[in-house]
Structures are given as structure tokens and as C-alpha cells.
Amino acid sequence: MHGHGDKPHLCTYHDCERSIPGNGFPRRWNLFDHMRRVHNHQGQASSPGSTSPTPSSASSVCPGHSTLTIRKRRTSSTSKGEAMKRTKSNNSTKAIVSANMQGNQLQSMQLVWHQRKAALNARMAALDPTDTAALDRIKTDHAMLQNMAMKIRSQETVQSAH
């Protein structure tokens, strides 16, 4: 399989973990890139037949550029000696995101509840005691407000548990 074979290209710096057989690089260019980035090595390939670009080959590939331009990866504010480690997404991060989403959902539910309450109050202010259809709508709206209030309280309970 690709990437799981031999890693014959070893780092020339003996105190580097990539100088240990088995921890090298599968491609020569990757070794040179490592040496340039990690060890600030400025030299080119030391053996003939190298596949790494040289300034003369760079000018033939990119006319108008007489020297090889090296682009480094972006670095954060950490020191050069400090290794960057990747971290896996953990449950606390997911819980924070979930809590934020629940908080937004709770605010939205409360806003809708207040809007429907205002609409119910307006209906009640214009209520005609003989209009049975209007009374039925008010009962339905009241039941809906009670249901929404229960959901809001349960959402608040879930949030306070976190």
C-alpha cells in the first residue's frame, strides 16, 4: 500500500528521531523538506541523481525566477523549539458547542413564547363573549403557551445540568 513501505531516507542529524531506521522518509524530497524546516539546514541534495529542485532547475521550470523560492508553513506564536501537537476533538468541546446551540434554541423558544402571549393578550382584549370560535382559539392558544412553557423549563433544566 502507498505510504506503508520502506522509509530509506534518514535524517543526517544523529539526535533526530527521523535518523533511526524505520522512522525515515519514503521520499528524498520529504527528507530535505524536514531538514530545512526542523533543523534549518540550508544545503542541497548531497548525492548525484537527487530529485530535489536546484536553483538552476527552478529557473528552467519557472522562467523569470533565477532563485528557488522556499515557502514555509505558517507558524503560530509558539517558539520554534516547541513542537506543535494535534489534538482530537474531545467531549468537552462538543458539549460547549451543544450548550451554545441549546442556549440559542432556548432564547428562540422564549421569544416565540412572548410573541404568542402578546397575540393571545390582544385577542383577549378584543374578545366578544358571544363568539364561541374566538373562545376556542383562545383555549387552543393558551394550551400551546402551556406546552411551550413546559419545553422551555425542560430546556433550562438541561442547560443548568451542564
Q: Which amino acid is at 58?
A: A
Half-sphere exposure for 116 (CA within 13 Å, toward CB):
19
User: What residues contact residue 118 under an 8 Å CB cut-off, 6+ apart?
Assistant: none
For residues 45 and 52, the model is more confident at: 45
* Phi, psi at 146, each rounded to 5°: -65, -45
The whole-angstrom separation of Cα 108 and Cα 111 is: 5
pTM score over 0.85: no
Q: Would you state the cell numbers that stand for residue 108, as one nine-digit string?
A: 428562540
37-51, 61-75, 138-152: range with lowest mean pLDDT: 61-75
For 133-157, the pLDDT digits (tens) are: 988 988 999 999 999 899 888 888 8
Which set of grid coordinates corresponds to residue 32?
Answer: 530535505
Alpha helical stretches, state H, the chain: 28-39, 55-61, 91-125, 132-161
Over range 16-28, report the average pLDDT: 89
% residues pLDDT > 70 (the chain): 61
Q: What Å distances lie between residue 106 and 114, 116, 125, 141, CA to CA? A: 12, 15, 29, 20
pLDDT for residue 60? 37
Identify the three-state secondary structure at position 20.
Answer: coil
Tell me the average pLDDT of the chain: 74
User: E strands within 24-160?
Assistant: none
